[in-house]
Amino acid sequence: MGDTPTNIQTAVNVAHNIDIENQTNNIGNQTNITINREVSRNFEIQAPTILAASLPWFLTNRLQATDNQCLKDLRETDPRDDKTRIENTKGGLLRDCYRWILDDHDYQRWRDDPQSRLLWIKGDAGKGKTMLLCGILNELSRSPERCCLFKKSSPSPTFAGHISFFFCQCTDSRLNHATAILRGLIYLLLCQIPSLISHIQQRYDHAGRQLFEDTNAFYTLSQVLADMLQDCKTEKCLMVIDALDECVTGLQHLLSFITRSTSTCPYVKWIVSSRNRHEIEQQLHHYAVTFSLELNADPVARAINTYINYKVAHLVLLREEKSLQDKVRDVMRQKADGTFLWVALAAQELESVQSWNMLNVLNQMPAGLEPLYRQMMIRIRQMGEQERECCRLVISTVTVAYRPLNLNELGILSGLPEEISSNHRSLQSVVNMSASFLTVRDSHVSLIHQSAKDFLTTVGLTTILPQGLGATHETILLKSLEIISKAVRRDIYNLGQPGVLIDDIRQPEPDPLAQARYPCMYWVNHLNDAVSDGNSTPFNYLQDDGIVHRFLKTKYLYWLEALSLLRSIPEAVAALTKLETLLVKPNEPCLYNLAQDALRFILSHGWIIGRAPLQAYASALIFSPQNSIIRSLFRREEPSWVATKPAMEADWTACRRTLEAHTNWVSSVAFSADGQKLASGSWDETVRIWDTVTGSCMQVLYGHKDEVTSVAFSADSQRLATGSRNGSIKVWDAATGRCIQTLEGHDKAVCSVAFLAKGWQIISGSYDATVKIWDAMGTPQTLQNHPYAVTSIDTSVSNQWIASGLSDGTVKVWDTIESEYLWADKGHTKSVSSVAFSGDGEQLASGSTDAAINIWNARNGERLHTFSDHSDEICSVAFSKDGRLLLSGSYDKAVKIWDAKSGTCMQTLDGHGYAIFSVAFSANDQQIASGSGDYTIKIWDRWMGISPPTLESHDDTVASIAISAGSRWLASGSWDKTVKLWDITTGACAQTPMSHGDTVVSVAFSADSRWLASSATNGTIKIWDLKENGCIWEFRGHNGTVFSVDFSLDGEQLASGALDGTIKIWEPANRKCVWTVQGHTKEVFSIAFSKDGKRLASGSADTTIKLWEPAGERGRTFGAHQYSVTSVAFSADGQWLASGSHDETIKIWNVEKRLCVQLIHVRRVVSHLTFDLNSNQYLSTDIGILELDQSAMHTQSVKNSTEEPQYHGYRINPGKDWIMKELERLLWLPPEYRPAASAVAGSTVAFGCYGGRVFAVQLSTSGSETFATYGASAVRGL
């Protein structure tokens, strides 16, 4: 609605219940609507702006600027404009055509009965359902109808309730899916109640426009709308959806949402319309007041007569011939066959016919829609050969297209001759010749009605599609691949920077992807449809070296970039999954292998490609296996600015994808029974629901006030139960994410929840030593007789048995019918962590913190097997559905797959960086999910063979790394008790692993790189001669972990700081300790020599920094941080001292004055510091090189840097997921490659990972200075 004074006044007048008829007449005059006086006495033309007036414009204007952007991105289309367009397209809304329904008994029952909340208007095509809803909307926007609807006493419609509506349209991709419907309803609701934007703003702030466009949008928006409707209890709302049958995607989810809301939102009423569709009736008949147009034939017929009168009155050439008007009306009434659409099509045909010929033309028109469509088809057949073929191509293309096509797209995709497709006027004329079936709106061409598509794909198939639907799909496929191949290229938007994020990209004008948008999105769909059509034979396209094979070999990566720019990476996953199903490996092995590799590529890297398009050529290629076909084909696209790349495994692993979003341990994972969703619970107090196909996070469930410990789906996948450490249980609607119930009754943490196999009853086990069975109303039944904390529970498929594991190592099985336990056995020496029944309920598995897994006969408690291949505590066990396999996750970071009968370990899945707290099989046993303390979830392919590792790595977390002077060598120390030396250039392990006997926490090179020092948790220090490849001396003297070692510049002394609070200086040449001091009250985390060796600085957990002069054995407290001091370093001239802390700051100190002159907030704990040799301008850290404020270093007061630190050259961002150059993102790090310990030396960035991998990336030094280092670049991961 525009903001002209007339429109504004109209809105205000309607809001105050001013006479609608007067407003209608005024608007009619403004728009020059001429109405035959005789006809105007029988009906009223309702102006399109009337309903818009009931949604006051001034409410939208109240939104703040930030809210406006959210509203702008939410708006795909304005339903008010759609309503106006529909009414105008149909020639105006006739009040006498719809008012009859207001007096109908069923309608009034829905309107007046508070318990009747859903009205379903159903009828066949062309019966006028859409216009009927338009009329109802207009009436309900008036008083007193609207007041009656919600039983409000206020006479003003403005305060009687709010109306949101949506008109679905199958042929328009903006209007034919469930997400679009929710967007429209929410948009109109926000226009009326701006305060409701709080329900969506936080999510929008995090995700931006993607919130409304990604594959999870429906689930997010359904939750948002449900919350909004709950928040409107005092406002009252009416939701209206027209043409549900034209909702192509997500209809079942939408119907479920509607029916649920009828019971959960008593203040909301719904009206929906659709054709007579069985699947809709199945969902709605229990909830809706059903209004059938076929059962109301008489009032419909009268309405059609009114419509005929109106249409005839507007035939200009008949205006002066009243007698002929009557005859035309009579013929139309006889032939309309109860459909408004026939009348509209007939009137359209008569508009250009002379009055003397109208009856003749009308008599030749058959009665009913299908006969009329047949006549239109005959007319096309009677055209000249070229015109007929052009019409056929255009109509067939529009018929099979997945959305309305603009004229340019239609011209190219239809296969029209170039002289027509490239000429806008010629193309428009072809569309005009096909106007019997087509309509043009906003330069987009679509079919006139869904019934036209039904006719063309059945009865009219032989004329429009003589070679079958598949032939048209083939044509579109070939044209699509041709268009994409010509359009796409690397960096098509000329972004330049490899790490620019999708949210920062603005579409250029003109858009180089304009013509390729439809082909990029839908070429695989058309390939699939072509192959699926029995009359088509496009199978040669799926041959080795065929068109699809050649396309993937040459354009795949550029296509992914284009899809990222179109914000459609999830569609790439779906497309490649579909392509893989079309192929058979023995027939076309090269294409099959390429398609599989392409799918693994997008599964592994799709998240970052969707977020940063140009990472398709950087992170995605660099972190793909050596033998990846895609990497080999596009190796030329790998970034030239990466001089040394990390060595990669030879082949893809069994891990299909890694899901990350949680900010703390993932404690529990569970697949839904339908296999479409995966739920995860975390210690970050959230629950997330993931799409198992695309890997996208569909919903985030907030509400728990403590760590989430367990998640479980109901058997029908409709509900999700979650347990928390604070003793509460929540039950969620799995589709909308709305919390249905909160169950409270446990006194301590809930460790495990599960649904009984049938129904919605829930069982829960708690550290309060009870198991509870909750009925659907939330009433618990408690199973007592647990002397110890219940750590895990499960239920058999028959619901008869419940198993519980206890903290004393006991396993119990309960009979739910008798409410007593059948057997109990203390089969473990430590706490039971997990229990799980087999699919048939005959076996029970239990895992324990004693690192053993027991298999029991579930009936009698006989122990059948004991598995003990894990090296640490068992956290989770799960049977496959067929009971043949057992899955286990452990603190040793491994997932193991066991043969449940023999006890043989069949596979070990490695890749997590911390303990695996939860494992689960998918519903079909094809996939495995694991949740870990590394904050990630991994989805594994059960059937993928495990290749032996091809790369050397540590067997456990890397705790410390150091780069030698000159960046030739990289040393690493690990929890696996070894030290390793790596060649940075090749990535190879240069020497035999050096054993230390306990966890290695610190490594440091001597200045000449001849010696390497390492320290461990057992209090030992070892000196390794790198030339001789052996340990030359072992120092013992500290009591507990030695956290830090540092060589003096001349290599003659080695300093160490330890858990016992002592500092020692050793002389390696003399193999003795020459100095010991106890100066800190807590552990010493860091020590550093000055360049001249005369001073030593130490940082401690007691938050202080101390300065020592070993010659005089005198120490003094130098300064302090808020938390533990983790790193210290002297400048080359000894004037300055730098310190880093757990408070995530770095301080620069004037040594002589003992004054802090600069405070830098780095937002991360820094474990290593080194000043550059040539000046005091730069400070090297384990995450990058900081440029210091020189002016601040010569002041008498501290300068607090609250802005982004000034970095020089390459660095690692605080989140540890990007290598950056100053403020520019360069290379994204997948979760498996993020550092537990890191080091940066000039253009070399080195990483030691939680999973044991060690690697370095050497980047180009062009345009930046090489940082000069001295001594050791020791880095310790804290």
What pLDDT, on the 0 to 100 scale, is given for residue 335? 83
Give the pair of three-digit tokens for residue 587. 């027939």
Residue 1005: pLDDT band with limits 50, 70, 90:
very high
Decide if pLDDT at 38 tops 70. Answer: no
What pLDDT, on the 0 to 100 scale, is given for residue 952? 84
- Looking from the CA of 323 toward its CB, the CA atoms found within 13 Å total 1
pLDDT, tens digit, for every residue of 709-722?
999 999 888 899 99
What pLDDT, on the 0 to 100 scale, is given for residue 997? 86
**Chain-centroid distance, C-alpha 113:** 41
- What string of DSSP letters covers 542-603? GSTTSHHHHHHHHHHHHHHHHHHHTT-HHHHHHHHHHHHHH--TTT-HHHHHHHHHHHHHHH
pLDDT, tens digit, for every residue of 1067-1089?
988 889 999 988 899 999 999 99
CB atoms inside a 10 Å sphere around CB 493: 18
Which of 54-58, 1044-1048, 1162-1166 shows the lowest mean pLDDT across its residues? 54-58
Contact 241, 165 (CB under 8 A): yes
The predicted model gives 1156-1175 an average pLDDT of 89
- Distance between CA atoms of residues 1217 and 505, nearest Å: 21
- Distance between CA atoms of residues 977 and 995, nearest Å: 6
pLDDT, tens digit, for every residue of 419-465?
998 888 898 889 888 877 888 877 888 888 878 888 888 887 888 87
In the sheet that holds 1072-1078, the strands lie side by side as: 1042-1047, 1054-1058, 1062-1067, 1072-1078
pLDDT, tens digit, for every residue of 464-482?
878 888 889 999 999 999 9
- Distance between CA atoms of residues 569 and 616, nearest Å: 11
What's the sign of the alpha-carbon dihedral 542, 544, 550, 556?
positive
**Which amino acid appears at position 941 of this protein?**
D
Q: What's the angle, vertex CA 909, arms to CA 907 and CA 915, rounded to 5?
A: 130
Within 1106-1208, residue ranges assigned H as helices are none
Backbone Cα Rg of the chain: 36
What pLDDT, on the 0 to 100 scale, is given for residue 1165? 93
Residue 1201 φ then ψ, to 5°: -90, 100
Q: Which of 1116, 1143, 1128, 1129 is nearest to 1200 (CA)?
A: 1143
Task: Fill in the DSSP letter of residue 459.
Answer: T
Residue given tokens 């109306």 in the structure block: 163
**Which amino acid appears at position 384 of this protein?**
G
- Distance between CA atoms of residues 670 and 1141, nearest Å: 39
Long-range CB pairs of 570-574, under 8 A, 24+ apart, other chains included: 570/214, 570/215, 570/606, 570/610, 570/691, 570/694, 570/696, 571/215, 571/521, 572/602, 572/606, 573/599, 573/602, 573/603, 573/606, 573/693, 573/694, 573/695, 574/693, 574/694
Same topology between domain 5-298 and domain 958-1276: no
What pLDDT, on the 0 to 100 scale, is given for residue 1125? 96
> Which secondary structure element, helix H or strand E, spans residue 1145, and what is its range?
strand 1145-1150
What pLDDT, on the 0 to 100 scale, is given for residue 791? 94
Give the pair of three-digit tokens for residue 1144. 């995530």
Q: Which residues contact 549 (CB under 8 A, 6 or more apart)?
A: 543, 588, 590, 591, 594
Q: Provide the residue ranges of all domains of the chain, joining segments of one domain with +.
A: 5-298, 388-494+507-607+621-633, 656-940, 958-1276
Mean pLDDT value across the chain: 85
What pLDDT, on the 0 to 100 scale, is given for residue 1200? 66
- Distance between CA atoms of residues 455 and 397, nearest Å: 15
- Distance between CA atoms of residues 339 and 194, nearest Å: 40
β-partners of residue 94 are 45
Name which residue leads in pLDDT, 1127 or 229.
Answer: 1127
Contact 1101, 1083 (CB under 8 A): yes
- Looking from the CA of 983 toward its CB, the CA atoms found within 13 Å total 9
- Distance between CA atoms of residues 708 and 730, nearest Å: 10
Residue 352: pLDDT band with limits 50, 70, 90:
confident
What pLDDT, on the 0 to 100 scale, is given for residue 141? 77
Which of 156-160, 208-212, 594-598, 1184-1188 shows the lowest mean pLDDT across its residues? 156-160
Contact 331, 362 (CB under 8 A): yes
Q: Give SS3 for 951.
A: coil
Decide if pLDDT at 1055 tops 90. Answer: yes
pTM of the model: 0.79
Q: Which of 1039, 1041, 1040, 1046 is nearest to 1023 (CA)?
A: 1046
Pairing of strands 969-974, 958-963: antiparallel
> Which secondary structure element, helix H or strand E, spans residue 86, and what is its range?
helix 79-89
Residue 1274: pLDDT band with limits 50, 70, 90:
very low
Contact 224, 216 (CB under 8 A): no
pLDDT, tens digit, for every residue of 255-282?
989 998 888 888 899 999 998 888 898 8
Q: Which fold has domain 656-940?
A: Methylamine Dehydrogenase; Chain H (2.130.10)
Give the pair of three-digit tokens for residue 556. 């795949």
Residue 695: pLDDT band with limits 50, 70, 90:
confident
Decide if pLDDT at 1269 tops 80. Answer: no
Within 193-267, residue ranges assigned H as helices are 198-207, 210-213, 217-230, 251-264
Decide if pLDDT at 743 tops 70. Answer: yes
Three-state secondary structure of 842-869: CEEEEEECCCCEEEEECCCCCEEEEECC
Residue 13: pLDDT band with limits 50, 70, 90:
very low
What pLDDT, on the 0 to 100 scale, is given for residue 1192? 72
Pairing of strands 162-167, 237-242: parallel
Decide if pLDDT at 545 tops 80. Answer: yes
The predicted model gives 533-551 an average pLDDT of 79
Return the CATH class of domain 958-1276: mainly beta
Task: Fill in the DSSP letter of residue 47.
Answer: P
Give the pair of three-digit tokens for residue 236. 């009252």
Q: Which fold has domain 5-298?
A: Rossmann fold (3.40.50)
Contact 692, 676 (CB under 8 A): yes
The predicted model gives 387-411 an average pLDDT of 91
Decide if pLDDT at 158 tops 60. Answer: no
Whole-Å CA distances, 707 to 296, 465, 673, 722: 57, 60, 25, 10
Contact 1204, 1211 (CB under 8 A): no
Contact 274, 243 (CB under 8 A): yes
What pLDDT, on the 0 to 100 scale, is given for residue 26? 35
Within 285-357, residue ranges assigned H as helices are 297-313, 322-335, 340-350
Residue 55: pLDDT band with limits 50, 70, 90:
very low
pLDDT, tens digit, for every residue of 618-669?
999 999 999 999 999 999 999 999 999 999 989 998 898 899 989 999 999 9
Give the pair of three-digit tokens for residue 63. 């939104």
Q: Which residues contact 863 (CB under 8 A, 6 or more apart)?
A: 825, 827, 854, 855, 856, 857
Residue given tokens 């070429």 in the structure block: 523
CB atoms inside a 10 Å sphere around CB 367: 15
Q: Which of 698, 579, 582 is nearest to 203 (CA)?
A: 698
What pLDDT, on the 0 to 100 scale, is given for residue 46? 39
Give the pair of three-digit tokens for residue 557. 């990566």
> Which secondary structure element, helix H or strand E, spans residue 821, and what is its range?
strand 820-826
